[in-house]
Structure 1
Amino acid sequence: MNNLKWLWKISDGFRPAIACSALTGTLHVCVSLAFVYVCKHLIDIATGISDDRLGSYIGWLASCLAMQLLLSAARSRLTAQTEIRLRNELRRKLFVHLMDSRWNGQETYHSGDVLNRLEEDVSTITNALCSTVPAVFITVVQFGGALFFLSRLDVRLAGILLFIMPVALLFSKGYVRKMRRMTREIRETDSHIQSHLQENLQHRILIRTLEYTEKTIDKFANIQFLLQDRIVRRTNFSIFSRSMIQIGFMSGYATAFLWGIFGLQDGTVTFGMMAAFLQLVAQIQRPMVDMSRQIPTFIRVFTSIDRLKELEALPSEESSPSLRMEGPLGIRVNHLHFSYPGSNRNVLDNFSHDFKPGSLTAVVGETGAGKSTLIRLMLALLQPDEGEIAFYNSKETVKSSPHTRCNLSYIPQGNTLLSGTIRSNLLMGRPQATDQELYNALYLAAADFVTALPDGLDTPCGEGGAGLSEGQAQRIAIARGLLRPGNILLMDEPTSSLDKETEETLLKRLSGQVKGKTLIMITHRETIAGLCKEVVRMTKNTPAKQESISQGSVHD
């Protein structure tokens, strides 16, 4: 029932189009039944049973054929338009939710699994809503209409057909439960395949240099074999179940055929009635076959709904308007405690420090001491277990939260460029920036090499900055961060891919041009720490010692 409510919710705004598709299909069924009626009369006229005008019924026959073609084309067009609109809207809503979902230091689902859900599961659900649901309605109408028409010709034959077609098997709880479990296993294995493909293609150079390609291919083959085995098992189970129904369908057709034969023999059935029998039996059997095929479809739909509801259940980040604070800003960290979910080790244990407005601070320490975690807490990507982070200026103090993020310019570690152009990457920092502002930021980041490129700002960047060196990509990322209007600049290992000369140029330009901003630099290089006015040293030692080192190691 909850799944049906979920389908009803996501179909909001598309229900009239879906209903129109069902109505068009229903009209097509009515015309099809009229076609059977016309065919019967034409045969009766030709055999002398009826003295109606042949030309009139030929005209009706042509009209029925034309109407069927038009209605079929109209329904196909309407279904395709509605489905792609609904698919885009559902995928957009899920994408927005995922982009706004809260991060706790690790992703709940593999990115390949998420992509598989956004592609395959969304397609399964939208196809069901726009095609399968109207088809089921149309099938019920077709079945009822054909059965009614057949009962008007011979009520006993209609009763026999209903009695010998055992459709109850497909609706048994055991069948549905087993099919749903099998389908869930298949969807999970399919997600595993996409995750394996995405991750290994993304890191194929690393895998090749480690000479791990063969093992990666073997693992991929094993996952594919598992998927194949699960699909075959589900198919075999489904074929057996449907075969039981086919026996009933074959019996029904044979009954109608023999009924007509004996009726022709004793004169109780005309050739027109015989033709109508056979067509109507087909119109009764086909809906029942279609219904039997829709059961696995709805099972796949309910499995896909469960998988998308898991994405929707991811908690969203706090939503509130951005709060921009004017003037020089500082960040005060008071008695901060933090550990990642599932870990029994505190990454930060009673850490305190005041990053004063306009200061230039280096945060140094060994790997795992919590340097990058501290930045994530300042960005409110993570929430502290205890303690507080607050932004302050001469007028006010505001606790750190997603709505204070606008005051920060963040430059993450390593190559973080997206596919596109240098311009499109820079404009992520300030969408309205002019070319001159872009070039100024590139100069400050020691990335003025861009001016010498043949296409300048419009030079294409491949995935992960492909086409540029690591050092070039890092400097462009720094320029992107400098374009942000925030008065606090967070830089995580900003010179890790730079040579000594370029590093010195970058630091010189930053210190000379970035005035009034508070700079916090995560680094492992003592040369950078020596250029900063303040240094915070972090270790993985005991809580008390960490706090005393963090505060006591600060120097002017």
Structure 2
Amino acid sequence: MNAILTLLPRYKKQLIAPSLVLLLTIVLDSANPFLNRMIIDDAIPQRNLSLLLKILFGLLAITAGRALFGFYKEYTFDRIGVLLYRDLKDQLFTHLQSLHFQYFDNISTGELMSRLGEDLENIWRSVSFGFRLLVEQALYFLIGLTVLSLINLPLTLIILAVMSPIAYIALRFEKKIDQNFGEISDLTAELHTTAQENIAGVRLVKAFARERFEIRKFMSKNQRNYELNNEQATIIAHHFPLIELFTNLAVLVMIALGAGFVARGRMTLGSLAVFTGFIWNLIWPLRELGWLMNTAAQFNASAKKIQAIFDISPQVADAPGLSHHSLSGDVAFEHVYFSYEADSVLNDVSFRAHPGDTVAIMGATGAGKTSLIGLIGRYYTHAKGRILVDGCLTEEIPLDDLRGAMSIVPQDTFLFSESIRNNLTFSRHEASDEELAHALSIACADFVFDLEDGLDTVVGERGVGLSGGQKQRLAIARAILREAPMLILDDATSSLDMETEYQLLKNLKSIQHQRTTFIIAHRISAVKNATTILFMEHGTIVEAGTHEELVALKGKYYEIFREQFHDFDALQEVI
């Protein structure tokens, strides 16, 4: 809610004109009943045609004015609502970009899409129409109540007594519908997540012939969604007709008692006409009360979800007053410990990589390899120890400088649903075609130029339409293109055949003197030429050295070496 309220002052100048028009429209509406009274009490009894024509002209002018002002009012308030929707969406997306990696580890894409979509749209509708209608109806009610009390206070009090149960009905309705909308909002996020994951993984679903299971899973959630929406319809059906009943009953009582007041001479027929006109100033706000409560419940449920995101502060952020750093890629870990939630991931990790070094990291799945390189860029915050880049603690280096000095190929290759050119220039948007061709050549991705549209070939989401090896080579080319002092390859050659991997690593070696390279791999062939090889087990570096040193050590690395090269005697020449 705070995030929304902080945006509203931006539009206070834009709200002045439509607010004045809103008041003017209400004034024009309020003039109608008095003109009707003049027709009934003066023009018709006196057969004053001139007065009648003037009144009719006035009614026509009021009608035209209401239409003109109504258009301006609706358009302007809707436009402000759209501006708020746009700015709030920008602000939410910007905030999401600032959040730490761990936040995204624990939330689904579908839920975030639901917040950016349906929940923001609920807020937009509430602000652009709901709140404006609330203010408008409140003013109509107050004006109507004042005028009715001045015309005939006893009749007004009786009418209010007849309509008083509506307040209780509205409060009960709001309580029930608010809880219902909260549940619908949560379930909508689950539905989006289920659909998004299924569509993203549709090839896996079909490969395992799990279509029926996925359909049943989706239909089960959708059935619950139907039940909640049906529950909402039931709540509305139980309350709205009662509101209609009491408002209609108020009209009936007003006609019956008003006729009695006229018959006894306590009111003129024209005054009764005014009373009849202004009673709708009470009836319509009360009739709209149920709808407004419905809108308010939607707004409240969605605003809570949106505010919950804004309330999350980035766990990794720049400290104030940091100075710019130009980095060369000298990396040092000193007795570093790291835990993910309650699980210990890294324990007493220490090593040093000088600019131009190649550090290879090996170990079984879950050994902490990816977590280790993630700490260099402060993707996560370590618990103990020191991590230094160019002799400075990573906490003392602005994130833009630190991450700007890194180029990474992650485990899960991701390509945007855009052209190959745009995917490559994501790392350096000003790169020329010659630089793109050079990066593709180093990454052994020359296949791009065999495609019909070359660099302008559009790839599907996550690189659909390309093989796993092609996607990895494009990701490597993207990383090379950045020309960052630190290059991180996280299992980046796992989908390549041995020949392509050999050529790619040979190409990388020709440029590695320009940058510090970290390679996570499971193949000896990918790491044996590294300056330093770190072998990890249960979050600890258990062996460190060159290929020759680790083979001579005959420890963990040596065991994997023998597994991958069974004919050890024939490999002595390689060693």
TM over 0.5: yes
Q: Distance in 2 between matches of 1:500 and 1:249?
A: 81
Q: Distance in 1 between matches of 2:205 and 2:278?
A: 62
Q: Distance in 2 between matches of 1:50 and 1:282?
A: 29
DSSP-derived class of the 1:353 partner: strand
Quick check: 255-264 or 129-138, which moved more? 255-264
DSSP-derived class of the 2:132 partner: helix
TM-score (norm 2): 0.87
Q: 1:250 aligned to 238, 248, 251, which one? A: 248
Deviations for 1:289-329, whole angstroms, at most 9, x for unmatched residues? 123321232232222222112111222131366844354x3
Change (3 A) 1:106 1:387: farther
- One-letter identity of the residue aligned with 1:325: S
DSSP-derived class of the 1:364 partner: strand
CA contact (8 A) 1:416 1:465 kept: yes
Matched, 1:319 2:318: yes
Q: Which residue is equivalent to 1:547?
A: 541
Q: Distance in 2 between matches of 1:145 and 1:100?
A: 49
Identical aligned pairs, as a percentage? 25
Mark the runs of 5 or more structure 2 residues left unpaired by the alignment: 551-575
Q: Distance in 1 between matches of 2:196 and 2:426?
A: 25
Change (3 A) 1:6 1:505: closer
Q: Which residue is equivalent to 1:40?
A: 37
Q: Distance in 1 between matches of 2:151 and 2:39?
A: 16
TM-score (norm 1): 0.90
- One-letter identity of the residue aligned with 1:23: L
Q: Distance in 1 between matches of 2:286 and 2:16?
A: 22
Q: Distance in 1 between matches of 2:86 and 2:104?
A: 28
Structure 1 stretches of 4+ moved >6 Å: none
Q: 1:28 aligned to 20, 25, 28, which one? A: 25
Q: Which residue is equivalent to 1:186?
A: 184
Quick check: 74-83 or 505-514, which moved more? 505-514
Change (3 A) 1:162 1:50: farther
Q: Which residue is equivalent to 1:499?
A: 497
Deviations for 1:380-420, whole angstroms, at most 9, x for unmatched residues? 1011122222112xxx4443663422221111124311111
Aligned length: 542
Q: Which residue is equivalent to 1:336?
A: 336
CA contact (8 A) 1:536 1:554 kept: no
- One-letter identity of the residue aligned with 1:214: R
Change (3 A) 1:293 1:397: closer
Q: Distance in 2 between matches of 1:508 and 1:134?
A: 67
Change (3 A) 1:226 1:171: same
- One-letter identity of the residue aligned with 1:376: G
Q: 1:399 aligned to 386, 394, 402, which one? A: 394
- One-letter identity of the residue aligned with 1:117: R
CA contact (8 A) 1:323 1:404 kept: no
Q: Distance in 1 between matches of 2:46 and 2:489?
A: 93
Q: 2:387 aligned to 386, 389, 397, which one? A: 389
Q: Distance in 2 between matches of 1:444 and 1:553?
A: 24
CA contact (8 A) 2:533 2:546 kept: no
Matched, 1:426 2:420: no
- One-letter identity of the residue aligned with 1:399: T
Q: Following superposition of structure 1 onto structure 2, how do residues 70-469 of structure 1 map, counting pairs within 5 Å?
A: 70-104=68-102, 107-166=105-164, 167-170=166-169, 172=171, 176-262=174-260, 272-316=270-314, 317-319=316-318, 323-327=324-328, 329-343=329-343, 346-392=344-390, 396-399=391-394, 402=399, 403-469=401-467
CA contact (8 A) 2:43 2:51 kept: no
Q: Distance in 2 between matches of 1:62 and 1:417?
A: 63
CA contact (8 A) 1:414 1:497 kept: no
Change (3 A) 1:374 1:553: farther
Quick check: 295-304 or 421-430, which moved more? 295-304
CA RMSD after TM alignment: 2.6
CA contact (8 A) 1:365 1:537 kept: yes
Mark the runs of 5 or more structure 1 residues left unpaired by the alignment: none
